[in-house]
Chains A and B, each alone.
Chain A
Amino acid sequence: MAKGYLAIVFHAHLPFVRHPEHQDSLEENWFYEAVTEVYIPLLLVLEGLLEEAVDFRLTFSLTPTLVSMLLDPFLQSRYLRRIERLIALAEKEIARTAHQPEFHRLARLYHQRFLSLRDAFLNRYDRNLVEAFRRFQELGKIEILGSAATHGYLPLLSVNASAVQAQIRTGIGYYEQIFGRRPKGFWLPECGYFPGVDRMLREQGIRFTILETHGVTRAEPRPKWGVYAPIHCPSGVATFGRDPESSRQVWSSVEGYPGDYDYREFYRDIGYDLDIDYLRPYVHPDGIRIDTGLKYYRITGKTDHKQPYVPEWAENKAEIHASNFIFNRQKQVEYLASVMDRKPLIVAPYDAELFGHWWYEGPAWVNHLVRKMARAQESIRLVTLSEYLEEYPLNQVATPAISSWGYEGFNDVWLNGSNDWIYPHLHRAANIMEKLLQGQSPPGRLTLRALAQAKRELFLAQASDWAFMINSGAMAEYATRRTKRHLRRFYHLSEQIQNDSIDERLLRGWETQDNIFSSLPPS
């Protein structure tokens, strides 16, 4: 019998990025890259496990923004074009590298890989990856968490309770619409917790959420079992704390597995290494270099000198690292079980985009991990958080501490000199939204549409991603533009609603562009 449990949680999220107004959008690439490198590869790992009857339990949070992008026909057809372009590029690479055997071999592998990804996307999944995740949930193999509508960073929106409630309610409503049931667990964007958000989750029937380590260790009163058992908020919502050990082994840029010298080097992409004229049809039409996904080197060492990638070595390392991860969890569980009155639980949440995008071998690591967990070891078992709560419904009561999983663990990333200008607008807009929804006379059809769109624009402005990007400097300009665009559209719409002067043509344009939650009710 297992001595303890391990819950691996993949937080899959992208901001809503969809630009039908452009022929080619650099920012949409985030989505296409993640489909190619993360979502399909992870799904194929799960398919393999299922086909070979390997039992497993994994947890995913698929945010509403990501789900709506995955379900969007426009983005789906653009993705298809993208993967076909990659296949063509790989063919060209096979010819170019004919006299460089170590690269030629890789070009052939990429070609094969892109063909099989295209096949999976088109034939196996009929373009609908969300359905694939839903099916794994129905099979009881994965648990999908709900999340806030557009990944709003709730602690900094909480000045308006209605804004937080709308993020939660809409996120859960969308989940129910897509997955056919209500979620038991809720991913707080950026693990951002403030006292009171648990009550709002509870109002929506949410049973649990996950916090960064110190959200639990600094709870009041002091939790007895650290992060190795959940605590119950006084509201009844259970909060699980992130295990710092297992997260560091995977995440840390210093000690983490992804930095191993045999793994693929992320920063050496032919999109930057080769002649721009050769690349032209495959990069941005304006000649802007982008990551193509064809990368031929391994990390090799700390210097810029890079050696060719050897897939077999990398695969071997992924297996070794999976064993090492299990070994460490076993030691941890053995110790914890010896001091606890119940089976310890290790909660290991990660950004899904680490697996396959930043860490190319991440999906292979997951594959080995799950298989090794399933056989020939008895001390530790994979579990979903719902299953754990079914076994342990009685938990210590404590109020979690204000926390997030951002740098330094609080609000610093999303609130500093670079991005603090956003909040007066977000708060003011939320106030206006409240007033609009309290309007006296029953609104007509056009007004209802404008209200729904105003709500969409506000949701899109609230995404934590913009403040994050502005803070990190990368893509700051785009993030600023997006924030301002949605706020401006919101202000325009609210004025038009108040003055009963709705510009139907403008509204229709915005509805087409910012079409998230297309069946969104106005209140």
Chain B
Amino acid sequence: MMKAVFSRCACLALALGVVGCASGPGGGSIYVPVGGQDRSTAPEPPRASGSEQDAEPRVWRKSEQPEVSEPEPPATRSPSYRQAGDELPAAAVSLIRDADQRLQQGDYNGAIARLERAQRIAPRSAEVYFKLAEAYVAGDNLGAAEQFTLKGLSLAGNDTRMQRSGWLLLADIRRARGNVAGADQAETRAQAL
């Protein structure tokens, strides 16, 4: 049974790094540096209306303070979503390769430590979670493996290859845990893709 899981994981390893990133109508996740130029809705700070010679700073009485307007919601703004998770950056790929090597040497903890580093770099990428699941399978912690597979699946989006890998991995883990019905269900999902 373990062997079956391993072979699937090998397929998964092949899938690494070739995943495209398709954004849904809501757009992908946008990286926003500090002090973005598009702060259009920030209210203007109160300004003295007098000329520059007007040395005396104008005192605003409460009654005549400018109304702070609520920012108008721009027409284009709507709740965001997307169809697929993030692509893996090169740094994460190198960590995953390193983890793979350690896994082959039987160093589960070393592999997990590296995969967790990769997960911090690419926390919205399904592969990282499938890889973690694989490491937990190898370390014989099938409960954790199942949870990481589910987490990966929640980020697989419309990437059918990624989804199929995930469902098959889930089927194997569930079967290994003795959950035959759950395994069949996952297998059916994989076949439907």
Partners in one complex: no
**Residues of B near any A CB (own CB < 8 A):** none
**Residues of A near any B CB (own CB < 8 A):** none
